[in-house]
Amino acid sequence: MINPINFFTEMRKVLSIAILATMLLIMVTGACKKEDETDTEKPKIDLNAVGVFPVNCDTIYFGETFNFQVVFTDNEELGSFSIDIHNNFDHHSHSTEVTVCDPDPDKDPVNPYTLIDDYDIPSGINNYITDLPIEIPASNGVGPYDEGDYHFFISLTDKEGWSTQKGLSVKMLYR
């Protein structure tokens, strides 16, 4: 005959071992799952959506305001973006341009326009459409800005720190 006290003691040991094994299994599979969920994808800059401006070979006018419109996406969460507008009078490349526009002859800058700005993207989203008015002044204290070939460089960073860039070739002119 089985002693009920010994039976319950043995069952408690078996149950305790089973619970410990289950907890260990959950911890191990949970840790593996977290590693698999690490964001390793770069965010994307979509220049093909309807209404995007500027795109390669567009013209931006001094003394006017335009709306910077582009679509940013990420598989997890977006972080921030920056814009860098600078002259391309020497026709340098950032290796992100895919279209060659009709360039002006090379020239030395006299009073080139430059803009460098950073912007945060609201937290918790993975798709963002910019609608950012950018005012381009006609001159500064030195005088009118130089017309010609410029780069409109966009850099996008996600929350994990991955980034992607697009360099657009644009003309900046006076009307």
* Averaged pLDDT in 10-residue chunks for the chain of 175 residues: 62 66 63 64 96 96 98 98 96 73 94 98 97 98 97 96 95 97
Give the domain extent around 7.
1-37
| Tally of domains in the chain | 2
The tokens for 23 are 């907890």
Structural element, H or E, at residue 25: helix 4-36
Q: CA-CA distance, 127 to 140, in Å (whole number)?
A: 36
Q: Say whether both 29 and 72 belong to one domain.
A: no
Q: Say whether both 86 and 160 belong to one domain.
A: yes
The pLDDT of residue 5: 63
**CB-CB neighbours of 155 under 10 Å:** 17
Question: Closest by alpha carbon to 171, among 107, 103, 114, 116?
Answer: 103
* Whether the Cβ atoms of residue 7 and residue 128 lie closer than 8 Å to each other: no
CA-CA-CA-CA torsion sign (133, 41, 166, 71): negative
The tokens for 143 are 């005088």
Q: Say whether both 77 and 14 belong to one domain.
A: no
Q: Say whether both 29 and 70 belong to one domain.
A: no
